[in-house]
Amino acid sequence: MTVSSSLSTVLFDLDDTLCEYRRSPTDRRAAAFDRVGVAPYGSPTDFDTVLGDLPPADTDVGFYTNWFAAAADRVDADRTHAPDLGRAYAAVLDHRDVRYRPGARAALDHLTDRAGLDVGLVTNGGRANQTQKLDALDLADSFDVSVFATPERGMKPDPYPFERALSALDASADRTLYVGNSLRADVAGAGSLGLRTAWFPTDRARVPDPDPTPDHTLDSLAELPALL
């Protein structure tokens, strides 16, 4: 089933949608624990579970600190090490060490070559870090608009980054498809403004009955052109 014959715009998330770090989150957390000299706590499921309910943070280090603190609370571990773990986790990240998720490059090539279709990027994260990923993937000039959402103006699921992209492209919500991996930030955020949504979860985040319900669920971004 196609999304819409009158679709004018496709917007993408970046992290865990178009690309992913080559080094797994589990390996990165292990490296952070090792740097700080703290016994590891929490399973991958524990860290994934708390991810959607973290309080806002002004910096990447603040976000990772909140993440380690929330996981510590979940498993009754000592949260006092969270600031050190947050700094260590940020230190082991190499924003250029990324790769495409399945089907991403082919889907982007197809969409950007399609006449009359605008393609944009709406990503949570500062321009400096996100641009390193785009440069590594040779994507810096692939989008008609790129929105780097930060806490100062509002991050997904806040409406602001979506509205900014729509305004820049003079696009209407009902003729726009948003593609992302997060039910909370992407599907809920875009859906609240009336955008169509395509959910492309990572294997660890896939659930049989997603809430909120996306318009489409993808196993690979190679499936995306068929929706159009």
User: Taking residues 168-181, what's their average pLDDT?
Assistant: 98
**Domain contains 4:** no
Same domain, 118 and 56: no
User: Taking residues 95-124, what's their average pLDDT?
Assistant: 96
Rounded CA gap, 90 and 29, in Å? 10
**C-alpha 7, offset from chain centre:** 23
pLDDT at position 223, please? Answer: 96
CB 195 within 8 A of CB 206: no
The 10s digit of each residue's pLDDT in 18-34 is 999 999 999 999 999 99
pLDDT at position 25, please? Answer: 94
- What's the CATH number where 170 sits? 3.40.50.1000
**116 Cβ contact list (under 8 Å, min separation 6):** 8
Instruction: Assess whether pLDDT exceeds 90 at residue 141.
Output: yes
Same domain, 71 and 144: no
Rounded CA gap, 162 and 197, in Å? 12
How does residue 197 score in pLDDT terms, banded at 50, 70 and 90?
Answer: very high
Residue 175 sits at φ, ψ, to 5 deg, of -115, 20
Instruction: Assess whether pLDDT exceeds 60 at residue 133.
Output: yes
CB 186 within 8 A of CB 156: yes
Same domain, 115 and 82: no
pLDDT at position 17, please? Answer: 98
Rounded CA gap, 12 and 105, in Å? 12
* Type of residue at 105: R
User: Taking residues 194-201, what's their average pLDDT?
Assistant: 98
Q: Which range of residues forms the domain containing residue 126? A: 9-21+99-227
pLDDT at position 170, please? Answer: 98
Same domain, 223 and 131: yes
Same domain, 213 and 145: yes
Same domain, 104 and 164: yes
Q: pTM above 0.85?
A: yes
| Cα dihedral value 67, 69, 24, 220, nearest 10 | -30
Rounded CA gap, 168 and 36, in Å? 44
**Domain contains 2:** no
Specify burial of residue 210 (Cβ count, 10 A radius: 0-12, 13-18, 19+).
Answer: middle
Same domain, 168 and 221: yes
Same domain, 112 and 52: no
pLDDT at position 228, please? Answer: 85
Structure tokens at 154: 């509002």
How does residue 5 score in pLDDT terms, banded at 50, 70 and 90?
Answer: low
Q: What percent of the chain has pLDDT over 90?
A: 86
CB 10 within 8 A of CB 177: yes
> Cα-atom radius of gyration of the chain, to the nearest Å?
18
Query: For the chain, how many structural domains are there in total?
Result: 2
Instruction: Assess whether pLDDT exceeds 70 at residue 56.
Output: yes
